Amino acid sequence: MNAKLKFALYVGLLGCLLALAWGFNAAYHTADPPVRPAAVSTNVMAISNQVASTNPAAAVTNPPAGHGSDLGDEATLRQTSPRMGRLMGYGVALFFTLVGLAVLIGNDVSRFFANRVEDFIFNDNLDGMKDPEYEEAEHVWASGHHLDAIRLMRDYLKRHPREQYVALRIAEIYETDLHNHLAAALEYE
């Protein structure tokens, strides 16, 4: 991915994240408009001296569904806040912005570690493998003092016995520079 495009995506997503967080906070802290009370009937019951019904068997004990004073209370209790839609919209947008930002960050982090592992495993240019002692021996060889270079490389090989490329380099110097094939063959063994 192009570096400029990636930078623009980071800036855009962070800007959206901040704007959406500010909008969510503003919507969350706004006061709900006052709830209007349910319409109260203005028909006042006539007060009289009339005797109430004395027949309890004829009294209706369970009012039919939808005909009660509790219906107004349920409608008031279940009434949603007008800001709930805005809060949900901001929340969903924040979620998807965070997912996009997480994908970008995950991509960058995985590429960083993949490159580090690849450089560690496939170190073809051997930049990290140079030792100053060995480099000094190579400089002595480059100046034309082949026997001194072999002596320095042998000392290096005694201190670092696992560095077998040094033994091969000593054999190569014997073979190509000093033209001593017997010594080169002994070094190869």
Report the CATH number at residue 140.
1.25.40
Residue 12 has pLDDT above 80, yes or no: yes
Instruction: Please give the residue range of the domain that contains residue 137.
Output: 129-188
Phi, psi of 160 (to 5 degrees): -125, 80
Say if residue 88 is in the same domain as residue 137.
no
* Amino acid at position 32, single letter: D
The predicted structure's pLDDT at residue 163: 84
How many C-beta neighbours within 10 Å does residue 94 have? 17
Say if residue 148 is in the same domain as residue 107.
no
d(CA 166, CA 168): 5
Asked if residue 87 belongs to a domain, the reply is: yes
Number of domains forming the structure of the chain:
2
Asked if residue 170 belongs to a domain, the reply is: yes
In order of 130, 144, 161, 174, 175, the CA distances from 180 in angstroms are 28, 16, 24, 5, 5
Say if residue 112 is in the same domain as residue 184.
no
| Cβ-based burial of 114 (10 A; exposed 0-12, middle 13-18, buried ≥19) | exposed
Give pLDDT tens digits for 88-136.
999 999 999 999 999 999 999 999 999 988 877 776 665 555 688 888 9
* Amino acid at position 140, single letter: V
The predicted structure's pLDDT at residue 102: 96
Asked if residue 58 belongs to a domain, the reply is: no
Q: Do residues 188 and 182 touch, judged by C-beta distance below 8 A? A: no
- On whether the pTM is more than 0.75, the answer is no
